[in-house]
Amino acid sequence: MKKQDIISSLFWMVIGAGVCYGGYDLELGTLRDPGSGFMFFWVGIIMMGLSLSLLIRAMREKSKTGEMKLIWSEVQWKKILSVIIALFLYAYAFNTLGFIFCTTIILIFLFKAVEPQRWSVAVLGAILSTLSAYLVFQLWLGSQLPKGLLNIG
Amino acid sequence: MELLNYLSIGLSVALQPVNLFYCFAGVFIGTLIGVLPGIGPVGAMSLLLPTTFKATPEAAIIMLAGIYYGAMYGGSTTSILVNIPGEAASVVTCLDGYQMARKGRAGPALGMAAFGSFIAGTLSIVGLMILAPPLSQFAIKFGPPEYFTLMVLGLTILIYLAHGSMSKALLMAAFGVVLGLIGLDSINARPRFTFERMELMDGVGLVPIVMGLFGISEVLLNIEQAFRREIFETKIRGLLPTAKDWKDSTGPLARGSLIGFFLGILPGGGAVISSFISYAIEKRFSKHPEQFGKGAIEGVAGPESANNAATGGAFIPLMTLGIPPNVVMAMLLGAFMVHGVQPGPLMMKQNPGLFWGVIASMYIGNFMLLILNLPLISIWVQVLRVPYKILFPLILLFCLIGVYSVSNAVFDIYIMILFGIVGYLMKKFDYEGAPLVLAFVLGPLLENNLRKSLIMSQGDFSIFFTRPLSAVSLVLALLLLVSPLIPWMGKKRAEIPKEEIS
């Protein structure tokens, strides 16, 4: 875990420093009357201390060849990235295009693009799932799902 | 006599048709998510939290609690038939349960898992009923220093029991505290780390974080590689265990119930650890330890009763102190708060119907689960055949709608996706999500009680050492934190079964 631990400890050290600075900026107050940034400041210090200890331990560890490759081996990046991008696009278009349209499209994509299935299964599955979700959340539970520009739903 | 009075109050609430419906929905969904690998009780509870908004607090908590203990029942089915644990607490059931199925004894294995779960679940509710009232009375005397140190101890135990590096678990807890404190300062209403976003003024929501860390990240992990599972093709017959099975299982059942209940009370303990410890104890005390791992029914009865008993125990610190001992209970605390109820020592007096109604519903839920898991086992086997490529878009759909329904804010969908990616990377880099979530929930309470304690003592930290309970809690927490430096304690920690085995 040497390389991963070095990378992650550096990441957390930066986050800890940010939290620490943010806490200081918010006012520490006094011990008799701790201010808004008191807890943030000390938690930030603890985070930096912990990441430093993790970093030192990782530096002392012997490096194993190919360990980074092992973690990321066989990862199908295309699938992961396509799902993440689809989710972000869904959130982006949700209010504008509305629940029913967005949900049907993302489900067809997920059914079809990640583990390809027949078009009929993907389209029918997407429509049925969207309508069931609409019935449960909008009609039964009274959630306010957006209709969007297309005014569907 | 007093207990019977309380129980009758509880039954009058739990037996109302609407509450019976929510109880059934909870245990049914719990069994379903227990059967389905890839989504655990925490994810399911956060997914279904919006569905309880229209319900009364009693119905909501009854349903969410049902999901928790229902998942413990359902988890054993996949362990026995597929050799894949439906949720982490059923990992150890795979060892002997699957071997029993391979030998044509899937029926008695499933039967014993269900009966064991029922008996242990019921015993733990009795324990909860007996222990909760005196503990509530005792907890009324607690002040901010006691609450602060108890929460520190709870977090420390969770970190101690976490998988792998303690530094990483501590880092996660610290990060969780920071996330929990985002929003307006509870004392002077000053915005903190809100980056001038209105959506962050009320803080980051628990549901988007939990769904991201436990829902989206699970899906990402599962789709990154080919996901295959094979159901052991066997006819399930004779679900009732034989007289010999019962004889062999009585001891493990009793021990498992006790271990599970008491470990469930401990912060950070819970179902996973208790099932492993029960298995280890049964193997150690068995006259034929060589049979373990080859289909010994004791290896199913002990852990299955332990993980179910732990669910009852876990309710004690939440309902009497208001401190969640594990992530599932943290989620339940969030649900209590959404419904305007503050769990803690006063809950039993202020909301007796809710307090005893939830407990009584657990008796009823256990009966429902016995019926769901024995005669209807074939339905769950069919559920197992649903391929993951059909399942994962539906899980994502529920995450998306679930998170939006809680706040009607697209911002929360972004937060959930972000934490999905964070959770995925955390698993890759060997960091655990549980300390983060528990610290996120406890963060505001920790800060509040720390500040109140310091104001009380005029800035003197000795307040934490001069009060007996807080002194004991702090010393214990300190001991656990330095334990990896002490050789024999460090070794003990390394032997603790790990939640992430699944």
Average pLDDT over residues B394-406: 85
Q: Three-class SS of residue B86? A: coil
Which of B319, B311, B320 lies closest to B365, judged by CA?
B311
Q: Report d(CA A113, CA B23) in Å as an integer.
A: 38
Q: Report d(CA B271, CA B87) in Å as an integer.
A: 10
Average pLDDT over residues B333-342: 86
Length, in residues, of chain A: 153
Which of B216, B221, B219, B217 lies closest to B403, judged by CA?
B216
Whether residue A27 lies inside any domain: the answer is yes
Which of A69, A50, A84 lies closest to A4, judged by CA?
A69
- Choose the final residue of a domain: A43, A72, A101: A72
Q: How far is B372 from chain A (nearest CA, A)?
A: 24
pLDDT band at residue B419 using 50, 70 and 90 as cut-offs: very high
pLDDT reading at A128 higher than 90:
yes
Instruction: Tell me the longest C-alpha to C-alpha distance in chain A.
Output: 68
pLDDT reading at A116 higher than 50:
yes
Q: A92 with A63, same domain? A: no
Q: Which of B181, B389, B458 lies at the smallest CB-CB distance from A115?
A: B389
Whether residue A148 lies inside any domain: the answer is no
Model pLDDT, residue B177: 93
Whether residue A151 lies inside any domain: the answer is no
Model pLDDT, residue B197: 86
pLDDT reading at B500 higher than 70:
no
**Looking at per-residue confidence, does B381 or B488 come out higher?**
B381
The secondary element (H helix, E strand) that includes residue B456 is: helix B434-456
Q: A87 with A48, same domain? A: no
Go through B185-224 and write b for each residue having 16 or more CB atoms within 10 A of its CB, e for each that does not: bebeeebbbbeeeebbeebbbbbbbbbbbbbbbbbbbbbb
Q: Which of B219, B397, B454 lies at the smallest CB-CB distance from A129?
A: B397
Q: How far is B439 from chain A (nearest CA, A)?
A: 12
User: Which residues in chain A touch residue B187, judged by CB atoms under 8 angstroms apart?
Assistant: 36
The CA angle B489-B494-B497, to the nearest 5 degrees, is 120
Whether residue A122 lies inside any domain: the answer is yes
What percent of chain B clears pLDDT 70, i.e. is strictly above it?
90
Whether residue A44 lies inside any domain: the answer is yes
Whether residue A114 lies inside any domain: the answer is yes
Going from the C-alpha of B63 to that of each of B44, B103, B321, B335, B398, the distances in angstroms are 11, 37, 22, 11, 17
Q: A67 with A111, same domain? A: no
Bridge partners of residue A29, in order along the sequence:
A34
Q: Report d(CA B38, CA B49) in Å as an integer.
A: 19
What percent of chain B clears pLDDT 90, i.e. is strictly above it?
14
Model pLDDT, residue B498: 45
Which of B123, B89, B95, B70 lies closest to B271, judged by CA?
B89
Q: Report d(CA A92, CA A102) in Å as an integer.
A: 10
Q: Report d(CA B406, CA B44) in Å as an integer.
A: 14
Beta strand spans in B63-170 (E) = none
Q: A95 with A62, same domain? A: no
pLDDT reading at A1 higher than 80:
no
pLDDT band at residue A126 using 50, 70 and 90 as cut-offs: very high
The secondary element (H helix, E strand) that includes residue A39 is: helix A38-60
- Is A31 in contact with B450 (Cβ distance < 8 A)? no
- The tens digit of pLDDT for each residue in B144-189 reads 898 888 888 878 877 777 667 888 888 999 999 999 999 998 888 8
Which of A107, A109, A113, A97 lies closest to A130, judged by CA?
A107
Q: How many domains does chain A have?
A: 2
Distance in Å from the first CA to the final CA of chain A: 50
pLDDT reading at B37 higher than 70:
no
Model pLDDT, residue B38: 63
Going from the C-alpha of B44 to that of each of A60, A68, B36, B206, B216, the distances in angstroms are 41, 33, 11, 13, 12
Beta carbons of B145 and B463 less than 8 angstroms apart: yes
Q: A86 with A135, same domain? A: yes
In terms of Cβ atoms closer than 10 Å to its own Cβ (0-12, 13-18, 19+), residue A151 is exposed
Q: A44 with A85, same domain? A: no
Whether residue A111 lies inside any domain: the answer is yes
- Is B417 in contact with A75 (Cβ distance < 8 A)? no
Model pLDDT, residue B105: 84
Q: A14 with A64, same domain? A: yes
Q: In the numeric block, which tokens belong to residue B148?
A: 């602060």
Q: A67 with A21, same domain? A: yes
User: Which residues in chain B touch residue A83, judged by CB atoms under 8 angstroms apart?
Assistant: 219-220, 223, 396
Q: A59 with A99, same domain? A: no
Q: Which of B167, B390, B446 lies at the smallest CB-CB distance from A54?
A: B167
Q: A54 with A111, same domain? A: no
Model pLDDT, residue B460: 87
A92: domain range?
A: 77-140
Which of B229, B389, B387 lies closest to A112, judged by CA?
B389
Q: Report d(CA B133, CA B146) in Å as an integer.
A: 19
- Choose the final residue of a domain: A72, A98, A124: A72
Q: A9 with A67, same domain? A: yes
CA B28 vs. chain centroid, Å, equals 17
Q: Three-class SS of residue B101? A: helix
Average pLDDT over residues B238-263: 87
Q: How far is B54 from chain A (nearest CA, A)?
A: 7
Q: Report d(CA B264, CA B311) in Å as an integer.
A: 6
Model pLDDT, residue B236: 63
Beta strand spans in B258-398 (E) = none
Model pLDDT, residue B34: 81
Q: Which of B178, B398, B417 lies at the smallest CB-CB distance from A84?
A: B417
Q: In the numeric block, which tokens belong to residue B425?
A: 């990377």
- Choose the final residue of a domain: A50, A72, A94: A72
User: Which residues in chain A touch residue B404, judged by CB atoms under 8 angstroms apart?
Assistant: 94, 143, 145
Q: A54 with A38, same domain? A: yes
- The tens digit of pLDDT for each residue in A64-110 reads 666 666 677 777 888 889 999 999 999 999 988 889 999 999 999 99
Q: In the numeric block, which tokens belong to residue B75?
A: 């988890």
Q: Report d(CA B334, CA B322) in Å as an integer.
A: 11
User: Which residues in chain A touch residue B225, judged by CB atoms under 8 angstroms apart?
Assistant: 74-76
Which of B113, B89, B90 lies closest to B100, judged by CA?
B113
- Is B224 in contact with A75 (Cβ distance < 8 A)? yes
- The tens digit of pLDDT for each residue in A23-72 reads 999 888 888 888 889 999 999 999 999 999 999 988 887 766 666 666 77
Whether residue A104 lies inside any domain: the answer is yes
Model pLDDT, residue A68: 63
Query: Looking at this predicted complex, what is its ipTM?
Result: 0.92
Beta carbons of A58 and A1 less than 8 angstroms apart: yes
Model pLDDT, residue B24: 94
Q: What is the mean pLDDT of chain B?
A: 83
